[in-house]
Chains A and B, each alone.
Chain A
Amino acid sequence: NAGVMQNPRHLVRRRGQEARLRCSPMKGHSHVYWYRQLPEEGLKFMVYLQKENIIDESGMPKERFSAEFPKEGPSILRIQQVVRGDSAAYFCASSPRGKSSYNEQFFGPGTRLTVL
């Protein structure tokens, strides 16, 4: 019974490159959330997705960041033209349902992005 899986666990990119972070939710979970954790800070919500739909992207930077959760395959957080300020730990969480009642969000181990 695997938990939330994220890969890669560590990613190093040079300024201007693209970063792709992958998240496979727990079995049976159709809701995915992405959070970003800057050093010595709490987690900040970025985006909430269901299969093939973005439900809430109020925490996503307006430029360079995008997310998808296709019908098949993992959810992907994509950061184009990375800058040093993008260096952070990116966590994915999944839950069986979203609104209407609280369902625990199970977190993955995170992807630690370092931009050189």
Chain B
Amino acid sequence: QQQVKQSPQSLIVQKGGISIINCAYENTAFDYFPWYQQFPGKGPALLIAIRPDVSEKKEGRFTISFNKSAKQFSLHIMDSQPGDSATYFCAAIETGTASKLTFGTGTRLQVTL
């Protein structure tokens, strides 16, 4: 059972463009939603995270938008750069009762010159 659905599977964006990755979840007990960035051969690294009582969070060029009623959240990368080329995973966790992260299937982003 896929509890966190992520799309698209892959994304090609020109340098300077906006990259948008979408996720949807089913479990309403999830209360923390991190995004991870993974480069080839490396482990995932936390990029940015949001709680459902906030509709948007921005850190530099990275913004999370959160729609609690639709159970959807998305990552926007503004002014995308070739160095942003990586695989991005959304995730969700129930902080009160469990500590395991439930990951989406990942989006492979390629930023072209």
Q: Which residues of A contact B (CB under 8 A)?
A: 4, 31, 33, 35, 40-45, 48, 55-56, 58-59, 91, 93, 95, 98-102, 104-110
Known interface pairs A42-B106, A102-B32, A107-B43. Does A95 touch B99 (Cβ–Cβ under 8 Å)?
yes
The minimal Cβ–Cβ distance linking A115 to chain B, given in whole angstroms, is 19
**Which of A40, A43, A48, A100 is the most central at the interface, judged by chain B CB atoms within 10 Å of its CB?**
A43
Q: A35-B101, A95-B99, A99-B96 are in contact. List 15 more A-B contacts (CB 8 A).
A: A33-B101, A35-B103, A42-B105, A42-B106, A43-B103, A56-B98, A56-B100, A93-B43, A101-B95, A102-B32, A102-B93, A105-B101, A107-B45, A108-B43, A109-B41
Q: How far is the CA of A56 from the CA of B98 in the complex (A)?
A: 9
Report chain A residues within 8 Å CB of B41.
109
Please name the residue on chain A nearest to B105 by beta carbon.
Answer: A42
Report chain B residues within 8 Å CB of A99.
95-99
Tally chain B residues at the interface, Cβ within 8 Å: 24
Please name the residue on chain B nearest to A31 by beta carbon.
Answer: B99
Q: How far is the CA of A95 from the CA of B104 in the complex (A)?
A: 21
Name the contact of A45 in the complex, choosing from B45, B46, B95, B100 (C-beta under 8 A).
B100
* A-B contacts, 8 listed (Cβ < 8 Å): A35-B101, A42-B104, A43-B89, A43-B103, A45-B100, A99-B98, A105-B46, A110-B42
Q: How far is the CA of A48 from the CA of B94 in the complex (A)?
A: 14
Report chain B residues within 8 Å CB of A55.
99
User: Are A91 and B99 interface neighbours, CB within 8 A?
Assistant: no
Known interface pairs A41-B106, A43-B89. Does A109 touch B97 (Cβ–Cβ under 8 Å)?
no
